[in-house]
Amino acid sequence: MDRILEFASNHYILVSGITITTVLLIQDFYEALTRQHNNTTAAGAVTLMNQENSLVLDVREPDEYAKGHIEGAVYIPFGKLKERVAELEARKP
């Protein structure tokens, strides 16, 4: 035990780095386990839209939506999402 403490005191930067890395890895693992929604890539999203009965919700601002959007996406600006949530319930797969 004395040698471990001696090593830690002589190499405190290394020990700090290992400790921080370990804590961050544990935090990421915990968040992945408790996450309510799955993360995906753009290619993964296209696959899900093609294979499953899915709903694409676009919450961007009107000017952003006008520049381009996914065909068939439900458009509800983020600021109006709470008052229009009933529309989503009606389209629930």
pLDDT tens readout for residues 29-63: 998 888 888 788 989 888 888 886 788 888 999 89
- Of 44, 80, 85, the C-alpha closest to 60 is 80
Residue 43 placed within a domain:
no
- Helix then strand then coil, in percent of the chain rounded to 5, is 60, 5, 35
Residues 30 and 57 in one domain: no
Residue 48 placed within a domain:
no
HSE (side-chain half, CA atoms, 13 Å) at 77: 8
Residue 41 placed within a domain:
no
What six digits make up the tokens of 43?
Answer: 């290619």
Tens digit of pLDDT for each residue in 82-93?
Answer: 898 888 887 776
Domain count, the chain: 2
Residue 47 placed within a domain:
no
Structural domain for 10, as ranges: 2-34
Residue 39 placed within a domain:
no
